[in-house]
Structure 1
Amino acid sequence: MTTYKIPVIPGDGIGPDIVTEGMKVIDSAGEKFGFDVEWIEYPHGADHFLETGELISEDTLKELSQYSAIYLGSIGDPRIEPGVLEKGILLAARFYFDQYINLRPIKLLNGVWSPIKDKTPDDIDFVVVRENTEDMYIGIGGRSTKGASSKILEVNRNLYSAKFNLDIETDSEEIAYQIGMISKEGTRRVMEYAFELAQNRSKNLASVDKANVLSDIYGFWREEFESMSSKYPEVKTDFNYVDAITMWFVKNPEWFDVVVTPNMFGDIITDLGAMIQGGLGLAPGGNINPEGTSMFEPIHGSAPKYKGQNKVNPIATIWAGAMMIEQLGEQEASDNIVKAIERNISEGKVRTYDMGGTAGTSDVGDEIAKLVKE
């Protein structure tokens, strides 16, 4: 029997509640499909930070790098200034492990109400491939007050390094600036992943940019997409401005199969995708390095007001677990978990409050685990 060692970071708020149910369902799938999971829990989150002052150390990241996948509950706590945990744990992990792909299935399951009138599961079933390490999220910028100033900003990645020497002169009382950057290396690798994914699905790939206004950075993105498309002549491609694609997601979601997008636009459109598939409680995500350590999580937050109440919907986390074991090679077990989720929703017997039911978090986990075995 294959045994997978998987680190778990339950995190904050509802994180421990929901990740427990995801682990339960994966263990159930393992019993049915002949694999075992050894869960290795890590304490990193708000409580750990308040007790020790540590977010996540390089030693811990190095230790985690020996594993193929990490299972994450949620990060965020009102006792700590917004952004501290997110940058110090989530973004630190993404950059350390070079998780350059954020993968988001936008799939309407049977039994789920979509706010888009008359659209069915046949109409809403696509995947967004978001570049996950560049763009406006490289984390460099600053502020300057009236007069002259200078600043050196650096980006260091496994693929490359870049340095910006800025001489700033302004007669404004104060200015703020943020530098966005994409590289040929970073752009081409995420596009290659998207083309390969499209080739294995319906051979339809849509690209997102804003090349008509932000022509330098997103014009470069478009050029690279056009160049790479010549290597995949069987994949049908099209371009979409980010403002337009938000409209098409709502009006004609059936047009899309695989979507590839720069980091910032992907952050925006995947939240819209979550709503058209039924809400944040049904939206999983993966931060993926195909050759290294990936991390899987629900895309919703930590909802600290519901901490320990056994109330919230665990389906996004359970679905993220299905994505995780698919990444590990357990395709049949992953498909079975998604089918069990869909059956749970369709039958409507065990649902949390957000889906019109009265069941608790653990009740839904128990039910899906049971359906996995049937």
Structure 2
Amino acid sequence: MSRSYVIDAIPGDGIGVDVTDVAMQCVDAVAGIYGFGVQWRVRDWNSDLYRKAGRMMPVDGIEQLSSGDGIYLGAVGTPDVPDDVTLWGLLIPIRREFDQYINLRPMRLLPGVVAMPGIEDLDIVVVRENVEGEYSQIGGRFGAGTDGEFAVQESVFTRRGIARAARYAANAATERGGRLVSATKSNGIIHTMPFWDEVVAETVKEFPGVVVEKVLIDALAARLVMKPTSIRTIVASNLFGDILSDLVAGVAGSIGIAPSANLNPERRHPSMFEPVHGSAPDIAGKGIANPVGALWAAAMMLDHLGEAEAARSLTSAFEGTLADGTATPDLKGTATTAEFAAAVLSRLS
């Protein structure tokens, strides 16, 4: 084959294993159709490794990943390992070491998915700043075990970090109607959010065709529930973008359909692609997890690699499967994970 890509697959925990397994089969199928190859390097980096070695990934894990063309992640997290351990031991270091400063989360109403009436033309992209903001390690807990125990958590917002997220979002808005909504809370968070507003506004001035509207996060959450089709492109901080993108997925029918791309836009480092749904230990191994988010994330990965036709074909296949009425239980269907994937593979072949 003339083209070949090395992809590090990290199935992770819970249903991450279930959905990445079938999604990788679909990627292999579409790769064969379009004449390129995918070499999967499967990494067993998960909570089991943490229990054995006290780490979510090897000491040289980042170095191992750096030689690949992309990273495909399932999900991480188990009830007996604290969330801060699983997240800060794997996902967040990958994002930060590879400067994946854009978290891109698209969402639209998919065929066959039952959602709220009146949102047939739902089409939202959330551009989330992905490496700073509220997700900071600066701070600590003090006075442990006393009545005066307290915790301090510092947010970190840099001009460079805000500007490059705003610039990426403005570029996206240029092709999506020219309106950009900026999530803020500058009436209550007195330092970081006014700074966010100022830098976003200054940056968007570089794009004459784009109008930015700053909206307080609480009002924006309500608007996304009540009038979701009034918004097309959102730029948000790390925390706000995380919350809003899950909210939009819920409005569209299920968090199981939501994809995510952690991008290093300059391509100096590999980017990472993942479904948003988490490890869902309550249904892990039962064969009923929805693979749509994983398939959509895989399509985003193929598009990022330059295989746009293959990405469109894979997207068309899972959308067509949904349109035919095949769906997993979270979408009021009866199909298993494997049955849904088999229908997608049938469409591809």
TM, length-normalised to structure 1: 0.88
- 3-state SS of paired residue (2:285): coil
Q: Distance in 2 between matches of 1:55 and 1:196?
A: 36
Q: Distance in 2 between matches of 1:271 and 1:187?
A: 21
The 5 A counterparts of 1:156-167 are: none
Q: Which amino acid aligns with 2:36?
A: F
Aligned to 1:330: 307
Q: Which amino acid aligns with 2:317?
A: A
Is 1:357 the counterpart of 2:342 in the alignment? no
Aligned to 2:264: 289
Aligned to 1:76: 77
Q: Distance in 2 between matches of 1:264 and 1:52?
A: 30
**Distance change (3 Å), C-alpha of 1:181 and 1:357:** same
Q: Distance in 2 between matches of 1:143 and 1:357?
A: 46
The 5 A counterparts of 1:59-74 are: 59-74=60-75
Q: Distance in 2 between matches of 1:39 and 1:231?
A: 41
Contact 2:167 2:204 in 1 (8 A): no
What is the alpha-carbon root mean square deviation over aligned residues?
A: 1.7
Aligned to 1:27: 28
Pair member with larger Rg? 1
Q: Distance in 2 between matches of 1:83 and 1:58?
A: 18
- 1:51: Cα distance to partner? 2.4
1:242 pairs with one of 217, 232, 244: 217
Is 1:269 the counterpart of 2:269 in the alignment? no
Is 1:107 the counterpart of 2:128 in the alignment? no
Q: Which amino acid aligns with 1:214?
A: I
Aligned to 2:17: 16
Higher alpha-carbon deviation: 336-345 or 316-325: 336-345
The 5 A counterparts of 1:209-224 are: 209-224=184-199
Q: Distance in 2 between matches of 1:118 and 1:200?
A: 23
Q: Distance in 2 between matches of 1:217 and 1:267?
A: 17
Higher alpha-carbon deviation: 192-201 or 39-48: 192-201
Measured against aligned partners, the alpha-carbon deviations of 1:65-124 in whole angstroms (never above 9, x if no partner) come to 12231001110112323321111111121111111111111211121111x33221x1x1
**Distance change (3 Å), C-alpha of 1:58 and 1:198:** farther
Q: Distance in 1 between matches of 2:222 and 2:296?
A: 27
Figure out how many residues of one structure are paired with residues of the other and give that number.
Answer: 345
Higher alpha-carbon deviation: 50-59 or 238-247: 50-59
2:136 pairs with one of 127, 135, 138: 138
Aligned to 1:307: 284
- 3-state SS of paired residue (2:23): helix
Measured against aligned partners, the alpha-carbon deviations of 1:34-59 in whole angstroms (never above 9, x if no partner) come to 22111111110011222233322341
- 3-state SS of paired residue (1:83): helix
Q: Which amino acid aligns with 2:323?
A: S
- 1:316: Cα distance to partner? 0.8
Measured against aligned partners, the alpha-carbon deviations of 1:204-253 in whole angstroms (never above 9, x if no partner) come to 21111111221310111111111112110011221111111111112222
Gaps of 5+ in 2: none
Q: Which amino acid aligns with 2:135?
A: Y
- Higher strand proportion, which one? 1
Q: Distance in 1 between matches of 2:173 and 2:127?
A: 10
- 3-state SS of paired residue (2:149): strand
